[in-house]
Amino acid sequence: MKEVWIEKYRPLKLADVVGQGDITERLSAYVKQGNLPHLLFAGRAGVGKTTSAIATARELFGDKHWQMNFQEFNASDERGIEVVRQKIKDFARTAPMGDSQFKIIFLDEADALTNDAQAALRRTMERFTKTCRFILSCNYSSKIIEPIQSRCAVFRFRPIPKEPMEGYLRRIAKEEGLKVKDDGIAAIVYLAQGDLRRATNALQVAAATGQVIDEDLVYEATSAVHPDETRELLMTALSGDFIKARKKLDAMLIEGGLAGEDILRAVHRAIFDLGIEDRDKVRLVDKLAEIDFRMVEGSTERIQLESMLAQFVLVGSEAKGSKKP
């Protein structure tokens, strides 16, 4: 049976977790002591929070018994107070299995819990510390109430750096017998933006074609906006040719099947590589933020994207005018 690669190649040991060396070193110290406090893992998606929690449990309890003393809940599925009062409390109050001194509850997306649920969770953490330790995972630690934060050792996970991500992808490619070009790896790293899960999924999608994986194949397989296309679109608009830029936008939306949100994100990244004045970049980013807000509120994306192109045309024309003697 074919497996999803993010699970097939998920590290089983803390030492194998990619790109978070300082955090895994501290967690390994807890494992050696055979004890750990409540933990709070904060960071964006795909940077190793769940993997680190599972690896910590494996090393604490052993490969045979860790699942009996480890329970995972996802707060985004059930975010109300009842899930804390019933499911979490029921698991926390029971004694650990085997020789273990305590059990671990891993609460993923804890920042999705309501304030009432977090208050109930705080009381549960206080009452059952002797039999249960909590590992809370969240994208935004600011959404976790202060009484819980003060009871946890906080670990802030960073986006995965380029070199460790490339090494991880090349290892998967070798294991799977894939032919991957350097520009293909670079394209995946560019698209992932520090998210290792996204990078692994992109590699698996590209590999499904059975071809040599290069830059063009990666962008085609993932239906992502190619940076060269984005730059060409923006340079056309900056040159003052609004109609031609609009036709390029048409091709991206209709022929490429891209969503307006994807194009907006690609433009945001491309702005900082354009050879224009910093003050113009500031104006354009400010305009993009306004357009993004309008699209989220339900405005017609086509009109908003054309408004974006119009702003680039204006900036380009003003820049030309300022260079005239």
> Model-level pTM?
0.83
CB neighbour list of residue 307: distance below 8 Å, 6 or more residues apart? 287, 291
Distance, CA of 242 to CA of 237 (rounded, Å): 6
Beta-carbon neighbour count of residue 95 at 10 Å?
10
The tokens of 73 are what? 């809940």
Average pLDDT for 151-163: 93
Q: Residues 2-19: what's their mean pLDDT? A: 90
Query: Which whole number is the average pLDDT over 188-209?
Result: 92
Alpha-carbon distances, residue 202 vs 31, 137, 222 (angstroms): 33, 24, 6
Q: In what order do the strands lie in the sheet with 152-156?
A: 70-74, 103-108, 132-138, 38-42, 152-156
pLDDT tens per residue across span 103-120: 898 998 888 888 888 888
State the pLDDT at residue 275.
Answer: 83
The average pLDDT across 287-299 equals 92
The pLDDT of residue 195 is above 90: yes
Nearest in space to 125 (alpha carbons), one of 73, 76, 77, 89:
89
Task: Tell me if 107 sits within 8 A of 88, measured CB to CB.
Answer: yes
> For residues 117 and 84, is the Cβ–Cβ distance under 8 A?
yes
Helix 301-323 × helix 242-250 angle, to 10°: 150
| pLDDT bracket for residue 321 (50, 70, 90) | low
- Tell whether the model's pLDDT for residue 1 goes beyond 60: no
The predicted pLDDT at position 325 comes to 47
What is the tens place of the pLDDT at every residue in 34-78? 889 999 999 999 999 999 999 999 998 887 778 888 888 887 666
Is the per-residue pLDDT at 274 higher than 50?
Answer: yes
Instruction: For each of the domains in the chain, give its residue range(s) and CATH number, in order of start.
Output: 5-156 (3.40.50.300), 162-221 (1.10.8.60), 227-317 (1.20.272.10)
Q: What is the mean pLDDT of residues 97-106?
A: 84
Burial of 181 (0-12, 13-18, 19+ CB in 10 A): middle
Mean pLDDT to the nearest integer, 235-250: 92
Instruction: Work out the pLDDT band at 29, boundaries 50, 70, 90.
Output: very high
The overall average pLDDT reported for the chain is: 88
